[in-house]
Amino acid sequence: MSAVLLPSGVIRVPTISTLENGAVVHGTRDLTPEAPDYDAWLPHAVPEEESRHGDADDAELLARWRGAASA
């Protein structure tokens, strides 16, 4: 997954967390322009429209992302 620049200016970046039981969880976090690492991610961010790969799953994924309060 790449960093995605949302229309609101927020950058959605990939994250990996390890739980106490050792399980690895892949997810995302949203960076606002005020975030300390926003400028570091900005050159790597792809606009949301360009990030779509044309897969059938894209519409479902975008609907879930847009439904999140952070987007």
- Residue 71 has what pLDDT? 47
Q: Is the pLDDT of residue 70 over 60?
A: no
Q: What does pLDDT average to over the chain?
A: 85
* Single pTM value for the model: 0.67
Q: Is the pLDDT of residue 10 over 70?
A: yes
- Residue 13 has what pLDDT? 95
Average pLDDT over residues 39-49: 92
How would you label 32-53 residue by residue, b for 16+ Cβ within 10 Å and e otherwise? Answer: eeeeeebeeeeeebeebeebee
